Chains A and B, each alone.
Chain A
Amino acid sequence: MKIPYSWLCDFVPLGTLEFEGSSATPSHELIQHLTDSFNDLGLVVEGVEWVGNGLDEVVVAKVLEIHGIEGAEKIRRIVVDAGEAEPLQIVCGAFNFEVGSKVPLAKVGAVLPGDFAINKRKMRGVESFGMLCSTIELGLGQDKSGLMILSDDAKVGSKITDALAIVPDVVFDLAIENNRPDANCVVGVARDLAAWLKLPFVAPTVPAFRTVSPSESVRLTGVEVRCPDQCDRLLVALFDSVNPKPTPRIIIDRLNLAGMRSVSPIVDISNYLMLELGQPTHPYDADELAGGVISVRLADRGETVVTLDGTMRTLGLPDVRGRESTDVVIVDGSDNPVGLAGIMGGEESEIKESTSNLLLELAHFTPMTIARTSKRLGLRSEASARFEKGVDPRILEVALARFSEMLGQLPAEVVQVTKPGANDTWEIDLRVSRVNEILGTAIDSEKVSSLLRPIGFDTEDLKAGVLKVTVPTNRPDVMREIDVIEEVARHYGYRNIDKIRPDSKFVGALKPLQRIRRQLAFLAVGMGFYETWSATLLAPGEQERFGDTGAFLEVENPLAQEESILRRSLLPGLVRALRFNVNRNEDEVRFFEIGKVFSVFEGEINETERLAFLLAYPGDAVTSAMSVFATISDFFSLEKVSILNRYELDSVKRDLLDENALAESWNGLHPTRSAFLVANGCIVAQVGEVDRRALAESGVHHDGRVGYLELDFQRVTSLIPPPDVMTPISQFPVAEVDLAFEVPDSVSARDIEYAIAHEASEHIVSSKLFDVFRGGSVRSGYRSLAFSVRMSALDRTLSDSDISGVRARCIAMVESRFGAKLRG
């Protein structure tokens, strides 16, 4: 909210604060002090604008001559009459004027807004004795397209401030929080500020006038509130034969400074009062209203009204959650809608220049009803913004009085309808001990009262450490003891509260999973991978491109369709990252990412954490992807994981997987160059090549074979064996035996390696696949797998017969279990 300093001064004597500087223009020190005060009050200053300042040396000048400058296209030599004995020569870069134009001249010595000092300058060898100015340079507007052109009757040589009747002012741009409905107006801000600065607050004066109920009235008997739960107060006033004077200059200036425009005398008053008091008022042309009255009721289902902005609004419909409408309309005497209550008036009964008889609506709507209608229609206005947050129900009379005062005319008749209790204040018991328990302060009840009273909270000491606090009606946000405590804290000053470090009862530590996650990340970085954070939201069809047709979650209201699908895998995001870099000639990348993926399974949202690696460089990165898994497996001593090549999915090995395992969110990799890593019936990870076709469809043009590994974080960690005591190490020599088998293609090499190491003999310490080949003497459908087997015993050197025994057991096991045959 933008608030001019001068307007605040109407309600709090800021000029009496002792700061240097003239009273007409506040000093920088005073403004800084006020800025700090606003911030301390939680009325955050987002900007301070000095208006009409720095214009002392700016005068009206008339253009006498315009000359080009040799060798310069963007500047010209201008001769002006600035009301001095001799004409002045100015170099100017603007072109929007001609000989005879009157323009502002900042003379040498002027210091324009923004501390822009004007000196004598020389450009292209031409001397310039000042600067001709645009509105932005003078702080009088936003136009920088050319010079500010003054009217022909501006007096040459006169001060620009006189010529334009500018009153210097300072505008504070305050961010008002949602729990400060009282501060959505000048008076509310002034009250808070006065209390903080310990200055008197000068409340707006209220001339008295009589209000009656509609039944007691003469011409407004038809006024009705048929929905008191949505509109708990209504004042309707009639002003006959209005003849408003043009809006005074000071009102126009203040409206402008607050960011509104002058429209017409009546609308200006209405807007001015909304800014000053926070109360929206709505004027109608009484002659355009059937029956000359208005009433308030809930909108019928499907009812329409054309609002002031010319849009037809359909009302009375349930909201997105299916809740019944609470749209409220203002209707005329024939029950036809003439306005959308609290949000925007209707087109038909809008006041015009010709309006003679005026009907003024002043209402108090409950915040929720306005919030719901405003949200459903996507229609916000200055009025709805205020009603949504809460307006003071007691301000209606003040607003009407001020309206009458500014119009210079008393209302002919005023009726009011008030729901019982709508005007009441409320009381809250405040325990002073609780204040100190919450704030960590040591203040007494007297101090608490002295902080609350200046902002309108009445207090009565009930003794025994309890204050009965009466909350003013302009603070609908204060409903509980804790809300009062916040007000105490605010006016006590947050910065006056001590800083006492809390003493945790615990020893901080990462949880086991969090520690493993970090270890995995360190391992990944140690293997040379760069960590990425890719987008969670993908484009429709982006996952299908990778062969993933599983059920996904979709955003109901995306910003853009390209960001509307929740990722089921980290693959599409990593491919995006790859594309970004390949397009910038970085075709060698090793990425890893840890992040959440989302899928829907049997109607439930399944959010899991994944760890993915993507490797791309010239050549084949696929085997490296597999060895990343081997390294992880090695580092964490993972329990047995089976490898199920994707092309084997239909075979008997499918038994490795639980029924639903494939319904999970595993994006497809290359159909014949990828595998699932399986444990306990679940897919723990998948590894392989990112299908080139999918890459091409994703716009990635990479020559190499891109490797990929994606792990389910939880499942992988579940395979980390619990800590165990050390395995004894043999002090005796190790014997090494090489065994080559002819093995069917359908058998996993890793399974054999694992079986030899763990199941053939207690003497086997390790087995390692060291050679694979197909062809030659090996039958088709088979390949030769050669393993290096190391064995030893804890208590002796293995004898030759021991070794041949182990060897034989090993061969027998592999041959019988895997359908393999030892090669000669």
Chain B
Amino acid sequence: MPQLSLKEIIDKVDELKGYFSSSLRDAEDIDRLRELESEVLSKKGSIASLNKQLGSMDLDLRQAAGTVINDARAQMRADYEAVLARHLAAAREKELEAEKLDLSEIVSGSDFHAGRFHLISKTKSELEDIFIGMGFAVEEGPEAETDWHNFEALNIPPYHPARAGQDSFYLKYGEPESMLLRTHTSPVQIRVMTRQEPPIYAVMPGRVYRRDTADARHTPVFHQIEGLVVDKGITFANLAGAIETFTKAIFGPNIVSRLRPGYFPFTEPSAEFEVTCAICEGAGCRTCSNTGWIELGGCGMVDPNVFGAVGIDPEVWTGFAFGFGIDRLAQMRFAISDMRIFLDNDVRFLRQF
């Protein structure tokens, strides 16, 4: 191989640079670029073969030529990277444009559907959680109940006038009028007190039945939640305090509660409890018949006869109970004009909550 002079090397390098630079400029796609890189800059490319030709040169000359070649290679590599980056960016842009997706066109429910809790069960869970926060357990009992649990143990013997107000669905089972669909959740109190020693702090939600013709404010099947506290030193003041606490938790801090005398055979003294109308905050409106108050439920101190029926000593333990309608609460909060809608299961209603 003939000996090359430094000048010849420089010329060759310049020629190569010119070729590379114009080829870079003309390259139409990334494939062509990569081809060019391989042709010129790779280990088998033109630059590398030029380098090989230096082998026989004088050391000084070789060093000088090597510098020229290396500089040129670095320069071309940089140019190449820059052009490649530009091409990659353009290709990415083109790809993104092609993949464009308008997510506003995606309609809800095409893959997943959100379900809904029934308003009643949603309300029930909310109430349970409030009472759990107050240190109460959640207790349950059967819907097909004995007359003893539903009435007698609750100080409501046969022919008691209170039975007239809770017209019952009796079941064709056993002795006449011995089994019925529970008319309130109070029998669960009896079940809890017979299976558990005090202290008791419990709420008892559930489905109840009354033999009332359905109208806008009544359905024969509805839901109640009942509370029972039995402990040493429990007073009527504690009852009032418990009611104040949970009504504020349900309706908000601006709501106050009040008690007025009422009558339930299983509590004595008994009370009805009312809360500030949540719609008008006490100013008076249609919902509260302009009184500013909404009657929510009943309550009272556990009657000694009830303690007697379940074998709890009323001289040692005192307690209170309260109860109210879950459906009625939901009806009031969501301005539901007719309660019968709760049993229709109309999806247009269900999906609102």
Contact = CB atoms under 8 A, between A and B. Distances in A.
Interface string A574-615: 001100110010100111101110101000010100000000
A497 B240 contact: yes
A532 B176 CA distance: 33
A243 B84 CA distance: 127
Given A508-B137, A536-B221, A607-B144, A440 B115 contact: no
A555 B343 CA distance: 19
Given A532-B118, A533-B342, A42 B175 contact: no
Nearest to A532: B345
Contact of B112 (A506, A528, A559, A580): A528
B209 A536 contact: yes
Among B237, B238, B344, chain A packs the most CB atoms within 10 A around the CB of B237
Nearest to B314: A482
Interface string B198-232: 01010000010101010000001100000001010
Interface in B159-216: 159-162, 164-165, 169-173, 175-177, 179, 181, 199, 201, 207, 209, 211, 213
Majority-rule SS of A interface residues: mixed
Contacts of B240: 494, 497-500
B115 A509 contact: no
A505 interface: yes
A441 B347 contact: no
Interface stretch (A7-15, A307-315, A368-376): A368-376
Contacts of B114: 525, 528
Nearest to A604: B173
Nearest to B260: A39
A495 B238 contact: no
Contacts of B229: 502, 504
Contact of B199 (A480, A501, A505, A531): A505
Contacts of A507: 135
B347 A502 contact: no
How big is chain A's contact interface, by range? 35 or more
A128 B128 CA distance: 61
Nearest to B117: A531
Nearest to B128: A510
B325 to A, nearest CB: 14
How big is chain B's contact interface, by range? 35 or more
Contact of B115 (A485, A500, A527): A527
Given A532-B350, A558-B169, A580-B344, A497 B236 contact: yes
Interface in A521-551: 521, 524-537
Interface in A421-455: 437-441
B179 A605 contact: yes
A596 B143 contact: yes
A502 B231 contact: yes
Interface string A165-206: 000000000000111100000000000000000000000000
B171 A556 contact: yes
Interface string B335-353: 0000000111111101100
B128 to A, nearest CB: 7
A324 B137 CA distance: 44
B185 to A, nearest CB: 13
B270 interface: yes
B176 A320 contact: yes
Given A41-B261, A438-B236, A495-B258, A525 B115 contact: yes
Interface string A763-806: 00000000000000000000000000000000000000000000
A555 B116 contact: no
Contact of A486 (B158, B165, B270): B270
A555 B171 contact: yes
A504 B136 CA distance: 7
A654 interface: no
Nearest to A526: B115
Given A320-B177, A605-B144, A590 B263 contact: no
Contacts of A554: 171-172
A594 B268 CA distance: 36
A179 B175 CA distance: 30
A195 to B, nearest CB: 13
Given A42-B261, A486-B269, A371 B170 contact: no
A535 B135 contact: no
B172 A553 contact: yes
Given A494-B240, A497-B236, 5 more contacts: A437-B233, A504-B201, A505-B201, A508-B201, A534-B345
Pairs A-B, 7 closest by C-beta atoms = A504-B135, A42-B261, A440-B237, A440-B235, A528-B113, A177-B263, A508-B132
9 contacts: A178-B161, A437-B233, A486-B270, A490-B269, A503-B135, A508-B134, A508-B137, A510-B128, A530-B116
Interface of B: 109, 112-118, 120-121, 125, 128, 131-138, 140, 142-144, 158-162, 164-165, 169-173, 175-177, 179, 181, 199, 201, 207, 209, 211, 213, 220-221, 229, 231, 233-238, 240-245, 257-263, 265, 268-272, 301, 303-304, 318, 342-348, 350-351
